[in-house]
Amino acid sequence: LAAASGRRDLAGLRVVVTAGGTREPLDPVRFLGNRSSGKQGVAIAEAARARGAEVTLIAANLEVADPGGCDIRRVSTALELQDAVTDAAREADVVVMAAAVADYRPADVSESKLKKDASDSGLTLELVRNPDILAGLGHAPHDGTLLVGFAAETEPDDEALLALGRAKREAKGADLLVVNRVGWHEGFATDENAVVVIGRDGEIVTRAHGTKTSVAHDILDVVVSMATTTAV
Ligand code: CTP
Ligand code: CA
ipTM entry? 0.99
Ligand 1 contacts CB of residue 149 (under 6 A):
yes
Ligand 1 mutation pick, 22, 61, 139, 172, max ligand atoms within 8 A of CB: 172
How far away, in angstroms, is 132 Cα from ligand 1 center?
A: 7
Digit-by-digit pLDDT tens for the chain (232 residues) are 555 567 899 999 999 999 999 999 999 999 999 999 999 999 999 999 999 999 999 999 999 999 999 999 999 999 999 999 999 999 999 999 999 999 999 999 999 999 999 999 999 999 999 999 999 999 999 999 999 999 999 999 999 999 999 999 999 999 999 999 988 888 888 899 999 999 999 999 999 999 999 999 999 999 999 986 654 5
Rounded Cα distance, 22 and 151, in Å: 15
Ligand 1 contacts CB of residue 22 (under 6 A):
no
Amino acid in position 67: P
